[in-house]
Amino acid sequence: MPWLAKASEPQRCYALKVGLILHQLAGMRKTYNDLVLTVERCEVLGLRRKSVQRGLKDLERLGLIRVKRETGKAPRVDILHEW
C-alpha cells in the first residue's frame, strides 16, 4: 500500500481524493493509462479545479502519476504505481 500511504499524508488531502478518483477510473476502464480526469467527476467529491490541480501536482511530485496537459482539455493521467 505504498501508493495509498504516500497519497494520504495529512498535508495531502487533495492528493488522496484525486488518487481515489483516478483508481476508480482505472478500475472502470481496466487500465492505468490515459485516464481522463474531468471536472464533473471531481466535483462529486467536492473538489474544485484548483484543488484538483494541487492534488495532481502532489501526486506527480511523489512519482505516483504522470500527467499530460493540453490547454482547454481535461488532464490525461497515467498511474505509475499500483496501490
The residue ranking higher by pLDDT, 11 or 38, is 38
Asked if residues 14 and 62 have their Cβ atoms less than 8 Å apart, the reply is no
Give the pLDDT band (50/70/90) at residue 1.
Answer: low
On whether residue 48 sits in a domain, the answer given is yes
On whether residue 35 sits in a domain, the answer given is yes
pLDDT over threshold 80, residue 59: yes
On whether residue 83 sits in a domain, the answer given is no
On whether residue 81 sits in a domain, the answer given is no
On whether residue 30 sits in a domain, the answer given is yes
On whether residue 28 sits in a domain, the answer given is yes
Give the pLDDT band (50/70/90) at residue 63.
Answer: very high
On whether residue 54 sits in a domain, the answer given is yes
Number of domains in the chain: 1
Question: What average pLDDT score do residues 49-76 get?
Answer: 94
Distance of alpha carbon 43 from alpha carbon 82, whole angstroms: 24
Range of the domain at 39: 2-72
On whether residue 80 sits in a domain, the answer given is no
